[in-house]
Amino acid sequence: MTRIPTAPDRIVATYQIAGDENHVLARARDICVEQTVEFPADLVTDPFIAGHILGRIEGHRAITPDRYEVAVGFALEVTGGELPQLLNVLFGNISLKPGIRLRRIELPAEATRHWPGPRFGVAGLRELLGVRDRPLVATALKPMGRSADQLADLAYRLARGGLDLVKDDHGLTDQPFCRFADRVGRCAAAVDRANREIGGHCRYFANVTASADQVLPRARAARDAGAGGLLCAPALIGFDAMRSLAEADLGLPILAHPALLGAYTASPDSGIAHRVIYGELMRIAGADGSIFPSYGGRFAFTAEQCRDLAAGCAEPLASLRPIFPIPAGGMRVDRIPELCRFYGRDAVLLIGGDLHRRGDVTTAARDLVTRVIDGHGR
């Protein structure tokens, strides 16, 4: 995506707005007001407020004759260094106005003092796993309703196949039929046992999507139980709860799940672009990998949207580490060569249900890893 040159000391949000140039600039001026002072512009007379607090149009360019991109700069101070207020400044009130789409975020270098982003990212997670030269391979423990013992047995059999990551399904929380502490302890131990038996490096990611006061305690409990990473759904717990997990520095990488985020990308002219919500915002909020429903699965993202999203995971954003895009949502084993070509080396391929269609899951997992090693070379 071409970048409109902008001021390096401001947060810059690029919005796509439909209409002719005059209309678009009028809407952009409205964004400058609505996202900051939310006050009749003609009544804003204080020079500090008018000159510093108000948003500022940094530039604009036509994409088509009736669609523009406008870059709006906001003073970092306006966010108070807090992520919820950053989200508010970027897209709070204007989420309620149709025809404005957030297309890109840029941060000044100073912003990383508040939001240092992923603690691992692509390089850090590769380092943990000792896998440097191919896409990573992951699966999910499911279905909900199985006991902790049954899920641990499944985790063992999957890890025996040599997968890199085995994660909880995001719907596994702390239900009466499968308690968090029970599940996480058993699954971590099961994956550890499989690793010892085959000389593997598989990491088990525990789902810590939970009530506000339980997110951090469960993450600490997962670490203490030997989990190798964390999973959470930021739309369910709040993006800042995920950031607080990264800030807690538990030594565990974090994968973000897209549950409840779909509405943001549902309309092409409103909402938040794939690049931003599954890439840039996930990085700002500290995820090391971003799970999303890939094109060609049982959801509706297009290949172009997936490419946009992967760019948001990888392209420069202040000094935040690049993270893994994690295509999922009905991926099949026979699509591995294509997925390897499309997403390149720095992706995690997440195959769920399809592994269970192929008889013994250990054999199916081993075959999957082999296909990724082969498929990556092509």
Question: Which residues are known to be catalytic?
Answer: 142, 257
43 near a copy of itself (CB under 8 A)? yes
19 near a copy of itself (CB under 8 A)? no
Nearer Cβ to a copy of itself (70/89):
89
Q: Which secondary-structure segment (H or E) carries 184? A: helix 180-198
Query: Which among 125-133, 185-193, 203-211, 222-230 is the span making contact with a copy of itself, rule CB under 8 A?
Result: 203-211
Tokens of 309: 């999203």
Query: Which among 72-80, 222-230, 303-311, 365-373 is the span making contact with a copy of itself, rule CB under 8 A?
Result: 72-80
Contact 349, 372 (CB under 8 A): yes
Contact 27, 17 (CB under 8 A): yes
Among 1, 26, 96, 123, binds a copy of itself (CB under 8 A): 96
How many other β-carbons are positioned within 10 Å of the β-carbon of residue 183?
27
Among 39, 110, 341, 344, binds a copy of itself (CB under 8 A): 39
Among 72, 272, 318, 348, binds a copy of itself (CB under 8 A): 272
Of 336, 356, 364, nearest to 134 by C-alpha is 336
281 near a copy of itself (CB under 8 A)? no
Contact 221, 181 (CB under 8 A): yes
d(CA 217, CA 242) in angstroms, rounded, equals 13
Among 133, 266, 334, 378, binds a copy of itself (CB under 8 A): 266
Nearer Cβ to a copy of itself (146/157):
146
Among 19, 23, 67, 95, binds a copy of itself (CB under 8 A): 95
What's the closest the beta carbon of residue 68 comes to a copy of itself, in angstroms?
Answer: 20
Residues 346-365 within binding reach of a copy of itself (CB under 8 A): 352-353, 356-357
Q: Which residues contact 281 (CB under 8 A, 6 or more apart)?
A: 87, 105, 239, 272
274 near a copy of itself (CB under 8 A)? no
Write the Ramachandran bin of 249: left for phi over 0, alpha for psi from -120 to 50, otherwise beta.
left
Contact 349, 137 (CB under 8 A): yes
Dihedral sign computed on CA atoms, order 43, 44, 46, 47: negative
Residues 100-139 within binding reach of a copy of itself (CB under 8 A): none
59 near a copy of itself (CB under 8 A)? no
Residues 288-327 within binding reach of a copy of itself (CB under 8 A): 293, 299-301
Q: Which residues pair with 67 in a beta bridge?
A: 18, 64
Among 65, 212, 249, 316, binds a copy of itself (CB under 8 A): 212
Query: Which among 73-81, 103-111, 154-162, 187-195 is the span making contact with a copy of itself, rule CB under 8 A?
Result: 73-81
Query: Which among 43-51, 129-137, 304-312, 366-374 is the span making contact with a copy of itself, rule CB under 8 A?
Result: 43-51
Of 57, 104, 56, nearest to 284 by C-alpha is 104
Nearer Cβ to a copy of itself (175/319):
175
Count the residues of the shown chain that bind a copy of itself, applying the rule CB under 8 A.
82
DSSP per-residue codes, 124-145: HHHHHHT--SS-EEEEEE--BT
249 near a copy of itself (CB under 8 A)? no
DSSP tag of 201: -
What's the closest the beta carbon of residue 345 comes to a copy of itself, in angstroms?
Answer: 26
